[in-house]
Chain A
Amino acid sequence: MIVKVAEQKLPELLTAAAGVEKLYIPVDKSDKVSVFEEYAPGKTLSRKLNTLRSAKDFFFPQVQPMAKFRMEGKKIEVIDTREEPQDFIIFGVRACDVRSFDILDRVFLADPVDTYYESRRKHATIVSWACAEPSETCFCHSFGIDAAAPEGDARMWIAGGWIYLEDLTEKGAELLKALDLPALGADTSDEDAEKEVKAEQDRIHSIQEKLPLYSLKPADNRQKELEIFNSPVWKEFSDKCLGCGSCTFVCPTCQCFDIEDFNDGHTIERYRCWDSCMYKDFTMMAAGTPRKTQLERFRQRFMHKLVYYPIKNDGIYSCVGCGRCLRRCPIHMNIVKVMKALEEDAQCEKKN
Chain B
Amino acid sequence: MRKEELIPQVGVVTDIRQETGDVKTFRVVGTDGKKLFEHIPGQCAMLSVPGVGEAMISITSSPTIKEYMEFAVKKVGVLTSWLHGMEVGQEILIRGPYGNGFPVESTFRGKDLLFIAGGIGLAPLHSVINYCRANRANYGHIDVVYGSRTKEDLVDLAEMQDEWMNEKDMNVYLTIDREEEGWDGHVGFVPNYVKELQFPTTETAVICGPPVMIHFTLQGLKSLGFKDSQVFTTMEMRMKCGIGKCGRCNIGDKYVCKDGPVFSFDQLGELPDEY
Contacts and interface: CB of A to CB of B under 8 A. Distances in A.
A289 B238 contact: yes
Given A107-B245, A290-B275, A261 B50 contact: yes
Interface residues of A, number: 54
Nearest to B78: A286
A28 interface: no
Interface residues of B, number: 44
B124 to A, nearest CB: 16
B1 A258 contact: no
Contact of B247 (A66, A116, A277, A284): A277
B91 interface: yes
Interface string B236-248: 1110110111111
Interface in A258-309: 258-259, 261, 263, 268, 270, 272, 275, 277, 282-287, 289-291, 296, 300, 303-304, 307-308
B93 A259 contact: no
Interface in B61-117: 76-77, 80, 87, 89-93
Contacts of B243: 112, 114
Interface in A91-137: 107-108, 110, 112-116, 119
Given A78-B93, A261-B51, A268-B51, A225 B271 contact: yes
A256 interface: yes
A183 interface: no
Contacts of A291: 274
Interface in A60-100: 66-67, 69, 71, 74-78, 80, 82, 84
Majority secondary structure, A binding face: mixed
B9 interface: yes
A283 B237 CA distance: 7
A311 B10 CA distance: 37
A342 B188 CA distance: 47
A179 B244 CA distance: 40
B8 A256 contact: no
B182 interface: no
A114 B6 contact: yes
Interface in B118-137: none
A237 interface: no
B7 interface: yes
Nearest to A279: B248
Given A225-B253, A257-B247, A307-B253, A283 B238 contact: yes
Contact of A76 (B2, B6, B91, B271): B91
A312 interface: yes
A331 interface: no
A259 B246 contact: yes
A108 B245 contact: yes
A286 B77 contact: yes
Majority secondary structure, B binding face: loop
B179 interface: no
A226 interface: yes
Contacts of B271: 225-226
A225 B252 CA distance: 8
Nearest to A229: B272
A285 B56 CA distance: 11
A78 B240 contact: no
A69 B50 CA distance: 7
B250 interface: yes
Contact of B252 (A284, A289, A308): A308
Nearest to A282: B248
B5 to A, nearest CB: 4
Given A107-B245, A225-B271, A76 B4 contact: no
B55 to A, nearest CB: 9
A257 B246 contact: yes
B272 A311 contact: no
A285 B256 CA distance: 14
A287 B235 CA distance: 13
A244 B76 CA distance: 29
Contacts of B2: 113, 115
Interface in B43-59: 50-54
Given A257-B240, A286-B77, A69 B253 contact: no
Contacts of B249: 283
B91 A74 contact: yes
Contacts of B247: 255-257, 275, 277, 304
Contact of B54 (A76, A82, A259, A290): A259
Interface of A: 66-67, 69, 71, 74-78, 80, 82, 84, 107-108, 110, 112-116, 119, 225-226, 229-230, 255-259, 261, 263, 268, 270, 272, 275, 277, 282-287, 289-291, 296, 300, 303-304, 307-308, 311-312
Chain A to chain B: the 10 pairs with minimum beta-carbon distance, closest first:
A256-B247, A69-B50, A268-B50, A286-B76, A286-B77, A308-B253, A229-B272, A311-B253, A76-B91, A263-B51
Given A78-B9, A283-B249, 16 more contacts: A66-B4, A67-B7, A69-B93, A76-B93, A82-B1, A110-B244, A114-B245, A119-B1, A225-B252, A226-B271, A261-B52, A270-B50, A275-B246, A275-B247, A277-B247, A308-B253
13 contacts: A69-B50, A71-B50, A112-B5, A115-B2, A225-B272, A259-B241, A263-B50, A268-B50, A275-B248, A282-B248, A284-B238, A290-B237, A300-B250
